[in-house]
A and B are shown apart, each in its own frame.
Chain A
């Protein structure tokens, strides 16, 4: 089934609901690879540093806006909203995070 690998689903982040990392996946630091990875049945995704920073904040207490402001503070910058929203959209589609 090589045909349609990437399903485009209409899934977007709901702004006022906290975001939670999926209990069916595991986010873990890999010493050997010197990076964070997401582990799930039959698969592993290697994360770059910024993706990992975002996902670490998905702990079911923070909303999208809170994650953005926290990271903007941490990295002493502004204007991260679009990038973070886009990444979390992808994360939601992949089932790495959810909102209920």
Chain B
């Protein structure tokens, strides 16, 4: 087999369909690209149906409808129905904004399997501040309706410095709402969260205290509520096994039809991420430059290349390496073996200084079209 270093390609299992970048909320940690205003076009209903069909044929089975706010797409019930007919297990990832009981029933009828509602905080004041929109009471109503109509209820709270102190109240709220699953997602610093990092990154003490409370709660509700806890990798010494390995499991389709190996990948230079308007899903998955770019372990530099943990974490996240070191081939700087680990330390220190200075010079940059157009120009 001389010369054959080709990595064995596994089929996609999870499809993330980002239906739109439009969203009535303005979360300053939103993972959408900061220059999303550049990408205005949206796939048609027929294109989405074709994407779903082709990916399903290859083996995708978990499907997330996300965005932006997917409820802003009028064809959502039609896409949900198509997904159900194909045998997907589908999830609506929503802010709850614009959701009504009627829509919940209509989507259930169409075959939606579960709904993940995000809440920004445990109090109205903070929720509405973070979301940039008055939405707290409505979100709670939506969560109750989701439960009432027999969906598994998944509550998602993104954690950061502004709300992490509310951990006990957040947990109590999840219990009160009857969540079956609670996703406690420490902010991952990409997109909007990256530019707001000084204002969002909690201190290590805050994080550890919150984690302890969550851990005790997890034990208390075992068997009743499942907790998914996403760690803030800045406080870890090994990176996350990003995407379960590049091009092994996850396929994201952006609103304009660009296929991404991870939802931040369009920020990486030179990948030429393909568009579903030009290629079939199997051409994209198997043959495209972007999906083969970091497949396997051959692309690695030191220290990953000769590290005995490389099959465990695949060298971490490419987007994080790029954002923090400027070179997407580098070891994820979260890793304590990375020569760039000091950049994480700098970020932590900088956020801590910002927190203690208590100054108002640097306001949160909210995720909205006005702000996005500024980044789109540069």
Interface of chain B residues 187 through 228 with chain A (CB within 8 A): 211, 214-215, 218-219, 222-223, 226-228
Q: Are A26 and B228 also in contact (CB < 8 A) when A7-B219, A32-B11, A41-B181 are?
A: no
Q: Which residues of B contact A39 (CB under 8 A)?
A: 61-62, 89, 113
**A44 CA to B181 CA in the complex, in Å?**
15
Closest to A43 in B: B62
Is B59 in contact with A41, judged by CB distance below 8 angstroms?
no
Q: Which residues of A contact B57 (CB under 8 A)?
A: 32
Is A30 in contact with B181, judged by CB distance below 8 angstroms?
no
Is A93 in contact with B181, judged by CB distance below 8 angstroms?
no
Is A42 in contact with B181, judged by CB distance below 8 angstroms?
yes
Q: Which residues of B contact A37 (CB under 8 A)?
A: 61
Least distance between B19 CB and chain A CB atoms (Å): 19
Is B61 in contact with A24, judged by CB distance below 8 angstroms?
no
Is B91 in contact with A41, judged by CB distance below 8 angstroms?
yes
Is B116 in contact with A41, judged by CB distance below 8 angstroms?
yes
Q: Are A4 and B219 also in contact (CB < 8 A) when A30-B59, A33-B59 are?
A: yes
**A4 CA to B223 CA in the complex, in Å?**
14
Interface size class of B (residues with CB under 8 A): 20 to 34
**A13 CA to B113 CA in the complex, in Å?**
27
Least distance between B87 CB and chain A CB atoms (Å): 7
Query: Once A and B bind, how many residue pairs between them come within 8 Å at the CB atom?
Result: 61
**A38 CA to B215 CA in the complex, in Å?**
26
Q: Which residues of B contact A9 (CB under 8 A)?
A: 222-223
Question: Is B180 interfacial (CB 8 A cutoff)?
Answer: yes
Question: Is B13 interfacial (CB 8 A cutoff)?
Answer: yes
Binary per-residue interface labels of chain A (19-36) against chain B in the complex, 1 for a CB within 8 Å, 0 otherwise:
000011010101011000
Least distance between A65 CB and chain B CB atoms (Å): 25
Least distance between B57 CB and chain A CB atoms (Å): 8
Closest to B214 in A: A1
Least distance between B131 CB and chain A CB atoms (Å): 22
Residue in contact with A41 in the complex, picked from B13, B152, B229, CB distance below 8 Å: B152
Least distance between B115 CB and chain A CB atoms (Å): 9
Residue with the highest number of chain B CB atoms closer than 10 Å, among A3, A7, A39: A39
Question: Is B150 interfacial (CB 8 A cutoff)?
Answer: yes
Is B211 in contact with A1, judged by CB distance below 8 angstroms?
yes
Q: Are A24 and B11 also in contact (CB < 8 A) when A30-B59, A33-B59 are?
A: no
**A33 CA to B13 CA in the complex, in Å?**
10
**A40 CA to B61 CA in the complex, in Å?**
11
Q: Which residues of B contact A24 (CB under 8 A)?
A: 152, 180
Is B222 in contact with A7, judged by CB distance below 8 angstroms?
yes
Residue in contact with A44 in the complex, picked from B61, B183, B215, B226, CB distance below 8 Å: B61
Is A7 in contact with B114, judged by CB distance below 8 angstroms?
no
Is A32 in contact with B218, judged by CB distance below 8 angstroms?
no
Q: Are A1 and B229 also in contact (CB < 8 A) when A41-B91, A93-B223 are?
A: yes
Ordered nearest first, which 10 A-B pairs have the shortest CB separation? A32-B59, A39-B89, A7-B222, A24-B152, A1-B229, A41-B154, A41-B114, A9-B223, A41-B181, A41-B152
7 contacts between A and B (CB under 8 A): A1-B218, A4-B218, A37-B61, A40-B152, A41-B113, A42-B62, A44-B13
